[in-house]
Amino acid sequence: MNNPPVAIIGLGLMGEVYAQRLLDAGIPVSGYDVDPARRARLAEIGGQPADSIAALAKPSRCILIAVFSTAQVEDVIENHLLPALGDGSNKIVACLSTCDPDEGGGARRPCHPARHPLPRCAGVGYQRSGAARRRRGADRRRQGGGGELAPIFDALFARRFHVGKIGDGGRAKLAVNLILGLNRLALAEGLVFAERMGLDPAAVSRGGEGVGVLFSGHGNQGAKDGARRLLAEGRVKQTLKDAHMMLDQGAALGQPLLSLQIHADTLEACVKAGEADLDNSAIIKEVRRRGDKT
């Protein structure tokens, strides 16, 4: 096969974006997801859906993992990729999921060289899926080689940086997502505060340079919520899952993450309200609810 496909395991919010970006760059894509509808969607955009992980593993140029959780990453590697490829495989596997960089304090390290012969690299995708779709063709800044994956990473990411040893990519991703999540909560609280004072929340976006950056970076939450859309670009349940990993990391390091605990509590309340699958900007709903209770 002169131009083997890049295989993507997990075709959810980000997996579909990765597939589209690769296809736009002229790189063939095969993919698998447990949801048949997502496999059908891959075919619609020009990819090659597979009926199993084993079916796409060997013919692929490399394999990108974009599943939901650490447990799912482990399942993909240990129960599907390793049996399909064999211990002697030199296939490159890139984990692009937001997962625990230590896997239980180092006791479990899927795709770690000390345990398996499959190399591992982590991509820090700090854009939400909608932002990634809208920024195709953006000015690209890169640092580091990337080796065989450089052309693939060039197609996937507007910016990429080498941050250190194995696991550091995942750690950097948690830190970046912590900052973005707290900014999103601050934005939601500011918009609701403006509403309570009788202002048009959109006016907040013109209230200063820093506020404008936050507003444009996280989307017009007020407009989304007002239209009852809240289309998922990064789901509440995903953000909560990440928050719990960050809190666990902070506890292990002896570093309290006080603001993050408030963010996690707010996300937990959204889940209890049945909003787990809404866009993570749905935290504005919980901020409003807390004001309504006073």
Q: How does pLDDT run across 266-282, given as a tens digit for each residue? A: 999 999 999 999 989 89
**Across residues 85-101, what is the average pLDDT?**
80
Cα 142 to its chain centre, rounded Å, is 19
Torsion over CA of 148, 153, 155 and 158, rounded to 10 degrees? -150
pLDDT of residue 2: 75
How far lies 91's CA from each of 5, 75, 98, 169, in Å?
13, 17, 21, 20
Handedness of CA 127, 128, 132, 135 (dihedral sign): negative
Neighbours of 119 (CB within 10 A): 18
Flag whether pLDDT at 222 surpasses 50: no
Flag whether pLDDT at 213 surpasses 70: no
Q: Are 159 and 204 in contact (CB under 8 A)?
A: no
pLDDT of residue 158: 79
pLDDT of residue 218: 45
CA nearest to 66, candidates 102, 4, 107, 22: 22
Condensed to tens digits (0 to 9), the pLDDT of residues 163-211 reads 777 778 788 889 989 999 999 999 889 889 988 999 887 777 666 555 5
pLDDT of residue 219: 45
**Across residues 99-126, what is the average pLDDT?**
46
pLDDT of residue 69: 86
User: pLDDT-derived band of residue 118, with 50, 70 and 90 as boundaries?
Assistant: very low
Helix axes 168-196, 209-218, angle to 10 degrees: 110
Tokens of 217: 């970076």
* pTM of this structure: 0.75
pLDDT of residue 127: 45
Flag whether pLDDT at 110 surpasses 90: no
Flag whether pLDDT at 221 surpasses 50: no
Condensed to tens digits (0 to 9), the pLDDT of residues 28-83 reads 999 999 999 999 999 999 999 999 999 999 899 999 999 988 888 888 988 898 88
User: pLDDT-derived band of residue 96, with 50, 70 and 90 as boundaries?
Assistant: confident
How far lies 97's CA from each of 17, 190, 288, in Å?
13, 31, 31
